[in-house]
Amino acid sequence: MAKGNSHCNDHHGLWTMLSFSLVSLFYFTVCTSAYEHARNTSTAFSLNTQSYELSSLAINSRPEPCPPCFNCQLDAFSCGHYGECSNYDGQCKCPSGWAGIDCLTPQCDSLADGEKRRQREEGKKCECKEGWGGVNCNVCKTDAACANFPLRKQPDVGFADDDDLPISNMTCYKGGDTVIENHQICDVTNRKILDMLPDRPPEVTFSCDKLDGTCQFQFWTAQVESFYCTLGNCTSGIDIGTDYNQTNYQCDDIKCKCVPGRFICGEGGSINIEEFLSTMITGPASFSCQTGHGCKFEEPGLNNLISMFFGDACLDMW
Contact of 210 with 181, CB cutoff 8 Å:
yes
Same domain, 80 and 132: yes
Same domain, 153 and 97: yes
Confidence class for position 86, pLDDT limits 50, 70, 90: very high
Same domain, 146 and 273: no
Domain boundary among 172, 203, 228: 172
Same domain, 32 and 130: no
pTM score of the predicted model: 0.74
Which residues on neighbouring strands pair with residue 257, listed in sequence order?
Answer: 228
Could you list the residue range(s) of the whole structural domain that residue 221 is in?
180-318
d(CA 204, CA 188): 7
Mean pLDDT, residues 197-213: 95
Same domain, 206 and 318: yes
270's CB contacts (< 8 A; 6+ apart) are 264
Same domain, 187 and 293: yes
Confidence class for position 66, pLDDT limits 50, 70, 90: confident
Query: Which pLDDT value is given to residue 60?
Result: 52
Query: Which pLDDT value is given to residue 37?
Result: 41
The full DSSP string for 113-146 is GGGGPPBPPTT----BPTTEESTTS-EE-SSGGG
Q: What CA–CA distances, in Å, run from 53 to 36, 43, 50, 304?
A: 17, 6, 10, 68
Same domain, 188 and 115: no
Indicate the number of domains in the chain: 3
Same domain, 140 and 225: no
Q: Looking at per-residue confidence, does 115 or 66 come out higher?
A: 115
What pLDDT, in 10s, does the model give residues 209-254? 999 999 999 999 999 999 999 999 999 999 998 888 999 999 999 9
Same domain, 28 and 93: no
Confidence class for position 34, pLDDT limits 50, 70, 90: very low
Mean pLDDT, residues 77-85: 94
Same domain, 184 and 309: yes
Same domain, 205 and 287: yes
Q: What CA–CA distances, in Å, run from 226 to 18, 127, 253?
A: 81, 21, 20
Query: Which pLDDT value is given to residue 212?
Result: 94
Same domain, 193 and 313: yes
Domain boundary among 172, 188, 219: 172
Domain boundary among 33, 60, 87: 60
